[in-house]
Amino acid sequence: MYTLAAFCVVWIVAAHCVFGGELTFELPDNDKMCFYENVDKGVQATIEFQVITGGNYDVDLELTAPNGQVLYKDIKKQYDSFTWTAQYQGIHTFCFSNEFSTFTHKVVYFDLEVGDDKPAVEEMGSHHTAMTLMETSSVNVFESLNKVVDHQTHHRLREAQGRGFAEDLNERVLYWSVGESVLVVLIGIGQILVLRSFFTTSTKSYSRL
């Protein structure tokens, strides 16, 4: 009985989840990528993005409504979040641009949520039914799991960004070390040649005498 009730609670909560999705994609240099989402009028939506790797970790974003109105536009952003309420029903377009970069590609993550994320407790209360201890625990577990997923996503993004930065720094240090080694070898060879020329000149002058 309680297991069935708990299953129904979880099913009702899942049925009221927001629509949307997460995506991580590679944005080539001097390129632009657009994505499309159908949003009903009066529905609230949120888009959150972050550049994981590439260059200065920045990208351009432009969000356009179905009537052509630009709802959001910013350039060279590392990360940002924007929430809006659709005034028109139809396809909303959001484009990520890396056209300002001539040789560096980027890896971009974004999370799009469409709809109101209503608390599960309010949803159950609307049916005028008293929640049992099992049902309350199921709702609390479901909400806690959603928070855990969000935290894990942010930590994964930070870890990926930090790892990319460390690998890029390691590569630069390697190139710098190789360059310094080559420079030291060239300087050593140059000093040997200069010293050799001194002794060669002295030998020739003594032979003339």
E strand or H helix at 204: helix 133-208
Give CA–CA dist 163/166, Å, rounded.
5
Threshold 0.85, pTM exceeds: no
Q: How confident is the model at residue 14 (pLDDT cuts 50, 70, 90)?
A: very low
Question: 10 Å Cβ neighbour count for 76?
Answer: 15
Q: What contacts 124, CB < 8 A, 6 or more positions away?
A: 9, 12, 131, 135, 139
Provide the mean pLDDT of the chain.
79
What radius of gyration do the chain's Cα atoms show?
Answer: 30
Judged on CB neighbours under 10 Å (0-12, 13-18, 19+), 52 is buried
Q: What contacts 53, CB < 8 A, 6 or more positions away?
A: 106, 107, 160, 161, 164, 165, 168
Q: How confident is the model at residue 3 (pLDDT cuts 50, 70, 90)?
A: very low
67: tokens are 């009537």
Q: How confident is the model at residue 121 (pLDDT cuts 50, 70, 90)?
A: low
Higher pLDDT among residues 42 and 152, named by residue: 42
Residues 170-196, mean pLDDT to the nearest whole number:
89
Contact between residue 138 and residue 6 where contact means Cβ atoms under 8 Å apart: yes
Q: What is the CATH number of domain 2-163?
A: 2.60.120.380
Q: How large a percentage of the chain has pLDDT more than 90? A: 34
Q: How large a percentage of the chain has pLDDT more than 70? A: 78
Helix orientation angle between 133-208 and 2-15, rounded to the nearest 10 degrees: 50
Q: Which amino acid is at 185?
A: V
Residues 127-148, mean pLDDT to the nearest whole number:
74
CA angle 82, 165, 34 (to 5 degrees): 35
pLDDT digits (tens, 9 = 90+) for 52-103: 888 888 899 999 999 999 999 999 988 889 999 999 999 999 999 999 988 8
Higher pLDDT among residues 83 and 149, named by residue: 83
Q: Nearest to residue 44, comparing CAs of 135, 112, 132?
A: 112
